[in-house]
Chains A and B, each alone.
Chain A
Amino acid sequence: MISEYLSVKNKYYLNGFDWVMGSIDLIMKNTTCAGNASQIVFMLDAPPDEALVREALGRFLRLFPVINGSVSRHWTLTPYWKMPGKSEERPVPLTVTRLDAASAQSKVLAALTDLINTPFTSKSDHLAFHLVYGKNEQCLALTFDHRLFDARGAESFVGLFQKFLASNYDPAVAADIRLTQGFDLTGWKSKFLAGQAVNRKVLALSQSAMRTMPIHLNGGAPGFRYRVIAFDREETKRITNTAFDEAGYLMLLPYLFSRVAEGLHRLFERRGAPSGAYVVPVSTDMRTAKDIREEIFFNHNSMFFFQIKPEDLGDRKRLAASIRGQWYDQIQNKFPQKLLAASALMRIAPLPFLKRFLRLPLGGNIASFCFSHVSKDSFVSADLLGARIVNMFHMPRTPVPPGIGVFFNTYGERLNATISCLDGLFTGDELDMLEEDLRGSL
């Protein structure tokens, strides 16, 4: 039975990144209106049939008891995801928003913004689907808890749903999904050595002051605001060619990163943020295509850390060279693998402790801003729910701190950039400026 396979012993032992995601979730719940969640949006060229979506989702989600799990601890102190033995009868997590006839595109984005800023209703809810019907456009969105999926995993999950629909509800489409992971309680010496290497890297990053925007929460529970920049195929081609000429062949990520750093630098300057270097975590997926297809649930991203020196910001070639050099060094030194190994040690720490611990090494700050580029989309279908997909983009809630991030994805040879900003960190005008800046410089 598929559902039994997907809940082997009803436990999935969490890795160090899963645990860090749990800690960020706690920080986000304490400081903002919801947890560490993200949203993936599929803009469609025709309105999907609500009844069909509801029925199909009801059948599909029953295959995955894992989606209603919760965090628990084994007697070895290893945290694990406790899953119900089988799916319980639950209402289908689907909301429907119908905007009035005069709704413009910005209202669709406003509706999507409300949805990503809405917390899950219970501890065992980790995803929600949404249908948004506008005047000329409509979309399916999936809001997901980052403890359950990373961005690629969420794309793959919707891809699986599309396959389930196309196969006339055949549960065998989920047969290859792996949901087993051991304790990972061996190799302590290598984990400590990895921790040593990570510690050295953190110390190197903390040598110069980190430039951050102060966050004033004033006891409120702010949400996030978004700007989505969708480039068409021609623009994407032009951007890619410029990146290859300026930053080097295939160096799209360093190119996009350098433009984002320049744009945010102007905003930080405008606000008179305390001087220093920018420290930026960049998550990316280093797995093979097969692993990406089979490991849908939980966190499998690799993390890199970059330092952008203010003196490099005036020279685009030097900035791109610095970014790709740092990237090269970290890949060569296996930094992401060491970080993952070292983070396994942190699983012993209770989440409330870990959320304080994460902020210790870099003087109370975690990063200046976030950046990512999901280059190879895991969702490859051109259709969903009987409609053609016009575009697909992500709307993450950026971890706080730093509360500001720019996230790129590519779908169907089209590049999208999403600016995600904690309410109150920058004004609407400043976000408009950043949007214009990115449109103009890319």
Chain B
Amino acid sequence: MAVQETGKKMTRQEIEGALAEGIATIISAEKKALAFDQPFHDLGVDSLGFVELLVFIEKTFKLQLIQSDLTRKDFETIRSLASFIHKNL
């Protein structure tokens, strides 16, 4: 999924969409109800939900992030996380 079937790298917007889908499943929310600039803790994501999200990211984008610094700057919102993933794909 990280690379589209055409061999093209996913855009940041496509990554945001995929992340929103994953988060909606994890917190049982409607995807369209998720604001991309809202911090995850305000969306109701807790430690467990966040680890589940990191597992989802590894499965979807083939990126293992659990041992990275998990800084607020890069991981706090769908938008910032999508940028971080986009840079590291």
Contact = CB atoms under 8 A, between A and B. Distances in A.
Interface of A: 244-245, 247-254, 284, 286, 288-290, 321, 324-325, 327-328, 331-332, 373, 375-376
Nearest to B41: A250
B58 A332 contact: yes
A321 B47 contact: no
28 contacts: A244-B72, A245-B72, A247-B70, A248-B69, A248-B75, A249-B40, A249-B70, A249-B71, A249-B75, A249-B76, A250-B40, A250-B70, A250-B75, A251-B50, A251-B70, A252-B47, A253-B48, A286-B48, A289-B27, A289-B28, A324-B66, A325-B66, A328-B55, A331-B55, A332-B55, A332-B58, A373-B47, A376-B44
Interface string B7-51: 000000000000000000001100000000000110011111111
Contacts of B67: 321, 325
A290 B55 contact: no
Contact of A328 (B45, B46, B51, B69): B51
Interface of A is mostly: helix
A290 B44 CA distance: 14
Given A288-B28, A328-B55, A331-B55, A249 B50 contact: yes
Contact of A250 (B27, B28, B46, B69): B46
A288 B44 CA distance: 11
Contacts of A373: 47
B1 to A, nearest CB: 17
Interface in B38-89: 40-41, 44-52, 54-55, 58, 66-67, 69-72, 75-76
Contacts of B40: 249-250
A376 B48 CA distance: 11
Given A375-B46, A376-B44, A290 B28 contact: yes
Contacts of A325: 66-67
A253 B28 contact: no
A250 B52 contact: no
Contacts of B52: 331
B85 to A, nearest CB: 14
Nearest to B72: A249
Contacts of B46: 250, 252-253, 375-376
Contacts of B49: 250
A251 B72 CA distance: 11
* CB-based closest 5 A-B pairs: A248-B70, A253-B47, A288-B28, A250-B50, A328-B66
A331 B75 CA distance: 19
Nearest to B48: A284
> Most chain-B Cβ atoms within 10 A of its Cβ — which of A250, A289, A327, A376?
A250
Interface of B: 27-28, 40-41, 44-52, 54-55, 58, 66-67, 69-72, 75-76
A27 B76 CA distance: 44
B30 to A, nearest CB: 13
Contacts, number: 61
Nearest to A324: B66
> Most chain-A Cβ atoms within 10 A of its Cβ — which of B27, B44, B48, B49?
B48
Nearest to B50: A250
B51 A331 contact: yes
A160 B88 CA distance: 47
Contact of A254 (B27, B47, B69, B75): B47
Contacts of B45: 250
A240 to B, nearest CB: 8
Contacts of B44: 289, 376
Contacts of A253: 46-48
Nearest to A292: B28
A433 to B, nearest CB: 27
A250 B66 contact: no
> Most chain-B Cβ atoms within 10 A of its Cβ — which of A244, A248, A376?
A248
A252 B41 CA distance: 11
Given A328-B55, A331-B55, A332-B58, A375 B47 contact: yes
Nearest to B25: A288
> Most chain-A Cβ atoms within 10 A of its Cβ — which of B44, B49, B54?
B54
Contacts of B72: 244-245, 249
Contacts of A247: 70
Given A249-B72, A251-B70, 10 more contacts: A248-B71, A249-B71, A249-B76, A250-B40, A250-B50, A252-B47, A253-B46, A325-B66, A331-B55, A332-B55
Contacts of B76: 249
A82 B67 CA distance: 48
Nearest to A240: B41
Contacts of A332: 55, 58
Contacts of A284: 48
Contacts of A245: 72
A325 B54 CA distance: 11
Contacts of A288: 28
